């Protein structure tokens, strides 16, 4: 039975990955900060799908938390989903620098370190996959969040190119607006976001797994967002920024 480790696994896209992979008969390792929520999620998945579920409470914004997850990954997994992330309330440059640095640690350093911890085992077994959850924001300009997600996309493509093994797949997942806890936790007002732009987490994961199976290195779920990204790449950066400001983060 293959094993998948998912960070940020108790809500939103991470929880959707857990459901999908449990349905596909993966054993799961769930990572998040809240041990109670982790345990509750694990119990529900065991009951519904009958799979093995391990909980690993860890704060990826700390070296201690990262070291715990790195250690578990060195024990071997077949699929790593780097999903943990958050948004800051407020806009650059008014967000406290310690909050910005923490974002970079979770979005960038954690993705780097956990990928490096997982790859040796995958290389030894000559198979495996890593999904790094980025965002459509990576293709636009909106503060530290979009900058950090742009790094995730570039890193994922670069890592896949350097590994150069079709049996070890590394993919950046770039969803648009998804109905999760993300905006509420960041105290963001999402009322200006048009209803047609919202996606469901389960749909995002379904498309991500399809694109991973096809060997794609960047997955942008939904035709609406594929079109937005395609147009965004053609227009000047200043116009991109204006649109981003109007629609929101």
| Helix, strand, coil percent values for the chain (each to nearest 5) | 55, 15, 30
**CB contact set of 195 (below 8 Å; sequence gap of 6+):** none
Q: What is the pLDDT of residue 89?
A: 84
Whether pLDDT at 136 is above 80: yes
pTM of the model: 0.90
Query: Could you give the percent of the chain with pLDDT greater than 70?
Result: 88
CA 211 – CA 41 distance, rounded (Å): 26
Range of lowest pLDDT (53-57, 64-68, 124-128, 239-243)? 239-243
Tell me which of 26, 49, 145, 225 is the catalytic residue.
Answer: 145
Read off the pLDDT band of 245 (50, 70, 90).
Answer: low
**Domain annotation for the chain: domains and CATH numbers:** 3-247 (3.40.50.720)
Catalytic residue flag (residue 26)? no
pLDDT at 2: 98
């Amino acid at each position: 039975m293959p094993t998948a480790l998912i960070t940020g696994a108790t809500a939103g896209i991470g929880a959707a990955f857990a459901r999908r992979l449990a349905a596909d008969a993966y054993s799961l390792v769930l990572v998040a900060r809240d041990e109670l929520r982790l345990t509750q999620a694990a119990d529900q998945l065991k009951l519904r799908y009958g799979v093995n579920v391990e909980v690993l409470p860890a704060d990826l914004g700390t070296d201690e938390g990262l070291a715990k997850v790195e250690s578990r990954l060195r024990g071997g997994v077949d699929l790593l989903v780097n999903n943990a992330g958050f948004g800051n309330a407020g806009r650059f440059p008014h967000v406290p620098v310690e909050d910005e640095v923490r974002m970079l640690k979770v979005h960038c350093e954690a993705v780097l370190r956990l990928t490096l911890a997982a790859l040796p085992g995958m290389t030894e077994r000559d198979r495996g996959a890593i999904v790094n959850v980025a965002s459509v924001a990576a293709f636009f300009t909106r503060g530290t969040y979009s900058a950090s997600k742009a790094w995730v996309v570039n890193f994922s493509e670069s890592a896949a190119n350097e590994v150069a093994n079709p049996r070890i797949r590394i993919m950046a997942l770039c969803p648009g607006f998804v109905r999760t806890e993300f905006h509420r936790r960041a105290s963001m007002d999402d009322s200006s976001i048009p209803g047609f732009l919202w996606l469901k987490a389960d749909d995002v994961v379904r498309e991500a797994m399809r694109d991973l199976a096809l060997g794609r290195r960047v997955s942008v779920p939904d035709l609406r967002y594929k079109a937005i990204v395609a147009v965004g790449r053609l227009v000047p950066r200043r116009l991109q920024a204006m649109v981003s400001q109007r629609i929101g983060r």
